[in-house]
Amino acid sequence: MEYKWTVLSNTTLGALMASINGTIILISLPVIFRGLNVDAFNPSSLPLLIWVLLGYGIVTATLLVTVGRISDMWGRARMYNLGFAIFAVGSVLLFLIPNSGTVGAWELVGFRIVQGVGGAFLFANSAALITDAFPHSERGKALGINQVAAIGGSVVGLVLGGLLAGIGDLRIGALVIPTWRIIFLASVPVAIAGTVWAYVKLHDIGAIRAGQRIDLVGNVTFGAGLTVLLVAVTYGLLPYGGQQMGWSSPWVLGGIVAGIALLLAFLWVESRVADPMFRLELFRIRAFTAGNFAGLLGSIARGGVMFMLIIWFQGIWLPLHGYSFSETPFWAGIYMLPMMGGFVLMGPLSGWLSDRFGARYLASGGMALSSVGFVAFLFLPYDFAYWEMGLLLFLQGCGMGMFAAPNTAAIMNAVPAEHRGAASGMRATLQNAGQQLSLAVFFTIVIVGLAGGLSGSVSSALGAAGVSGAPASALTQMVSADPTGALFGAFLGQNPMLMYIHYLPASLQSQIAPALPTLTAQGFFPNAVAPAFLNGIDAAFEISAILTAVAAVVSMLRGERYIHELEAPQRSTATEAAAPAPPRAGPAGGRGSDDVRPAPVRVRGGR
């Protein structure tokens, strides 16, 4: 096999595996918590639940820039191979979790973080290795395939998690492997095989900047600042002092301020050290700056909203259509597949087209299509016809595919070869940090909207079911005071009304006994919370539409097509071959056309 295809196949496997493991736990979490004997509905378990869901992404986002910079110094293939090995170790540890209960759950969090460290090495170096191995005329196509794995894997993880969660315990003679361990076992052979394959076949062919010093102060300020900021916004989702969310907590506010201060200090440090971790000079390249900023806006717009769509399926639409709450996690993944279909269709195709015509119009069109899709979501009722939702999910997938591969290729083409690791890490950091911030921001928006209308909608639903007086007041107060619990209840495959009724005093439970079949029916909870839920998710759609529209404009501002390593004018298509050579000019200027601009940009340490 030609070496470039070996690189593409191995990095695509790594990106797919890391992406799948980022979401596989979302669908299989009920089975895992039951296997560990953890009560997910106990209020004390909410921090644990948040860390299980978000810890992997936080540690990955925090390490990407550091790993990318070190990879430029010590070798991208070497660091990528190490990441595969770390990921394999984390997978084995998850399968072998020794304890149960709260201790076992925190071990789950810790071993997921080990996986996240390995995932950071994989994500930070995949695009750089592909850029090193492929000529500029084929990078868009190659990166498109890799991006399909990296982003499409998140949807595959949802489906795979549901499938594994439903297969039951595995019996091999006298040995019984519980279902929740099988979920983690699935990635072990792939991780081990990928590690061996990477160590045997991959080697560095790109520029390595040996002899430089590690920027310790920059690494510490960046890592600490981003970690503190992401942890603080994550804890803002937890109740505090009798309030539904924790944004007024001094620890949350202090963490946000401290995180921002450390990141500002990091930028100050990076502008003064000889060998910085974060190559600020790269932002002089318009294609690099516009591509990263557009990618960040797109990540913020999409990450949290996609999670809210899953909750919409699990908590409202699927129960209304006859699916039991225990089945909804799996079927939510199945019904999200049109998004993956659109992405698989447009990802490689748009990458191939960007090799010929440039990224500018493809990437901008993808963001514009996403913006139109978010506006269209506003017109869906909570009990929508699936063909409408499926069509919009497919269009969102097409928009993501049109943007992801061309944008990544444009970013990586624009930087000097010796800085590709750092550039890849910076791109992946902004994308992953945007997704983490998106989850916190949009979850807050939906919860606030839900809380604003929950009392009225639940009270009306209880009255229609014949429940009034003290039982109705108690249930309304419980649901209204805990909208986060209501959403997570449906998300974890449980009927939230059973949970709330369980916590009622025995005297009130006896009063609502005649209405119990109505209250616990599949359709009661979805109909009770749906009007309030739409208030919140519509606000999220509006904000996402604005962000993606701005991202489309920013993407258009990336300027003329620019490939750093070209030292002489070259054309991308046969029809351009007869045209006169474009004038040599730097990427920061120009007329805004999409011709190839060959002149290199000089950055510190560059050519």
Q: What does the pLDDT read at residue 440? A: 78
Task: Tell how strand 561-562 and strand 170-172 pair up.
Answer: unpaired
Asked whether residue 1 falls in the same domain as residue 65, the answer is yes
pLDDT of 580 over the 50 cut: no
Asked whether residue 9 falls in the same domain as residue 110, the answer is yes
Range in 164-173, 174-183, 395-404 with the lowest mean pLDDT: 164-173
375/439 Cα distance (integer angstroms): 19
Strand partners, 562: 597
Asked if residue 138 belongs to a domain, the reply is yes
347/155 Cα distance (integer angstroms): 15
Span 596-603, average pLDDT:
40
More confident residue, 198 or 522: 198
From 254, 276, 298, give the residue that closes a domain: 276
Span 316-342, average pLDDT:
83
More confident residue, 339 or 72: 339
Asked whether residue 65 falls in the same domain as residue 145, the answer is yes
Asked whether residue 264 falls in the same domain as residue 197, the answer is no
Asked if residue 323 belongs to a domain, the reply is no
**Angle at which helices 420-464 and 483-491 cross, to 10°:** 110
Span 366-377, average pLDDT:
94
- Count of beta carbons in the 10 Å neighbourhood of residue 262: 19
Asked if residue 82 belongs to a domain, the reply is yes
Asked whether residue 198 falls in the same domain as residue 228, the answer is no
531/536 Cα distance (integer angstroms): 9
Q: Tell me how many domains the chain contains.
A: 3
Asked whether residue 51 falls in the same domain as residue 30, the answer is yes
Query: With left for phi above 0 and alpha for psi between -120 and 50, is residue 466 left, alpha or beta?
Result: left
Q: What does the pLDDT read at residue 574? A: 38
| Confidence category of residue 584, pLDDT binned at 50, 70, 90 | very low
Range of the domain at 468: 450-531
Listed ranges 6-15, 219-228, 446-455; the one with the highest mean pLDDT: 6-15
Q: What does the pLDDT read at residue 369? A: 94
CA distances from 388 to 380, 384, 392, 394, 537 (A): 8, 7, 6, 10, 17
Could you give the percent of the chain with pLDDT greater than 70?
86
C-beta separation of 520 from 498 below 8 A: yes
Asked if residue 20 belongs to a domain, the reply is yes
Span 381-386, average pLDDT:
91
Q: What does the pLDDT read at residue 605? A: 34
Among 459, 411, 434, 447, CA closest to 544:
434
Could you give the percent of the chain with pLDDT greater than 90?
11
C-beta separation of 413 from 144 below 8 A: no
Asked whether residue 270 falls in the same domain as residue 167, the answer is no
C-beta separation of 277 from 69 below 8 A: yes
The secondary structure of 30-91, three-state, reads HHHHHHCCCCCCCHHHHHHHHHHHHHHHHHHHHHHHHHHHHHHHHCHHHHHHHHHHHHHHHH
Asked if residue 402 belongs to a domain, the reply is no
449/245 Cα distance (integer angstroms): 13
Q: What is the pLDDT of residues 13-58, one digit of tens each?
A: 888 888 787 778 777 777 888 888 887 666 667 777 778 877 787 7
Asked if residue 336 belongs to a domain, the reply is no
| Confidence category of residue 603, pLDDT binned at 50, 70, 90 | very low
Asked if residue 315 belongs to a domain, the reply is no
User: Max Cα separation, the chain?
Assistant: 87
Asked whether residue 160 falls in the same domain as residue 182, the answer is yes
Asked whether residue 170 falls in the same domain as residue 239, the answer is no
Which token pair is 467? 């429940």
Q: What does the pLDDT read at residue 597? A: 41
Asked whether residue 230 falls in the same domain as residue 157, the answer is no
pLDDT of 116 over the 90 cut: no
From 185, 205, 225, give the residue that closes a domain: 205
Asked whether residue 174 falls in the same domain as residue 267, the answer is no
From 276, 291, 312, give the residue that closes a domain: 276
C-beta separation of 16 from 150 below 8 A: yes
404/597 Cα distance (integer angstroms): 22
Asked whether residue 21 falls in the same domain as residue 136, the answer is yes
Q: What does the pLDDT read at residue 590? A: 39
603/505 Cα distance (integer angstroms): 69
C-beta separation of 329 from 498 below 8 A: no
C-beta separation of 356 from 379 below 8 A: no
20/25 Cα distance (integer angstroms): 9
Asked if residue 296 belongs to a domain, the reply is no
Range in 169-173, 312-316, 410-414 with the lowest mean pLDDT: 169-173
499/452 Cα distance (integer angstroms): 22
What CATH number is attached to the domain comprising 101? 1.20.1250.20
